[in-house]
């Protein structure tokens, strides 16, 4: 794909619930000329998500949605995405499970990053489970989101060696560093076909 510039970039929303370090790395990526996407919107289910600060720092619109009534909230969310002409959704530490109908509506347009070598260790506590199983390697995966948890088509993975004396914390840190590189790479991969 030829380089996309300015307003031709693919309008993207990033969904977060916490720290937002992947959001930050995606924002940095969008500042590079090779980025095919621009981040127009940050969505969070958590008013206290630390990552929301990046909305302020980088002047990106942010919206908080309370997911207690999922159906109602997703309808509002869909309108917001439409109004902002969002074409791609990047989940980055977003802790809600989106409904099947929401996912179907955005089929092939939702990406997620997961801190394990999928299909191993879907769901939560990935590092703890990998260590308990005495795995030699773990890593991270960027994949398309389908209606089954952490099961959509894999776009890219990065393997990380688990050292002796590795802790959940040290492994999480090491993998996060790789996540920050992998997400932009995965975006480049899918848009350069």
Active site residues: 114
Least gap, CB of 47 to ligand GRF (angstroms): 15
CA-CA distance, 85 to 97, in Å (whole number)? 23
Least CB distance to ligand GRF at residue 130 (A): 13
Listed in order, strand segments (DSSP E) in 7-57 are 10-16, 37-44
Q: Which is nearer to ligand GRF, 108 or 123 (CB)?
A: 123
Q: Smallest Cα–Cα separation from 102: which of 119, 86, 121? A: 86
Stretch touching ligand GRF by CB under 6 A, among 53-61, 112-120, 131-139, 155-163: 112-120
Contact flag: residue 115 with ligand GRF (CB under 6 A): yes
Cβ proximity to ligand GRF: between 19 and 53 the closer is 19
Does 14 bind ligand GRF (CB under 6 A)? Our answer is no
As measured in angstroms, the least distance from the Cβ of 68 to ligand GRF is 22
φ and ψ of 186, to 5 deg: -65, -40
The radius of gyration of the chain's CA atoms, rounded to the nearest angstrom, is 16
Q: Closest residue to ligand GRF, Cβ-based? A: 93
Shortest distance (Å) from residue 145 CB to ligand GRF: 12
- Options 9, 12, 13, 21; binder of ligand GRF; rule CB under 6 A: 21
Contacts of 13 (CB under 8 A, 6+ apart): 39, 40, 41, 42, 43, 81, 84, 86, 88, 89, 90
Helix or strand or coil: residue 15? strand
Residues of this chain that interact with ligand GRF (CB under 6 A) are 16, 18-22, 51, 92-93, 113-115, 176, 179
């Amino acid at each position: 794909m030829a380089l996309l510039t300015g307003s031709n970039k693919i309008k993207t929303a990033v969904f977060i619930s916490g720290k937002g370090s992947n959001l930050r790395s995606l924002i940095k990526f969008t500042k590079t000329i090779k980025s095919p996407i621009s981040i127009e919107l940050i969505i969070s289910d958590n008013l206290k998500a630390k990552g929301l600060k990046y909305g302020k720092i980088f002047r990106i619109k942010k919206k908080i949605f309370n997911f207690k009534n999922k159906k109602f909230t997703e309808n509002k969310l869909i309108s917001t995405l439409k109004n902002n002409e969002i074409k791609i959704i990047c989940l980055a530490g977003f802790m809600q499970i989106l409904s099947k109908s929401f996912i179907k509506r955005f089929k092939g347009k939702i990406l997620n990053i997961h801190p394990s070598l999928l299909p191993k260790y879907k769901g939560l506590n990935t590092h703890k489970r990998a260590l308990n199983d005495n795995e030699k390697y773990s890593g991270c995966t960027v994949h398309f989101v389908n209606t089954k948890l952490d099961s959509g088509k894999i776009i890219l993975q990065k393997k990380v060696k688990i050292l002796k004396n590795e802790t959940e914390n040290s492994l999480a840190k090491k993998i996060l560093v790789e996540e920050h590189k992998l997400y932009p790479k995965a975006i480049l991969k899918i848009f350069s076909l």
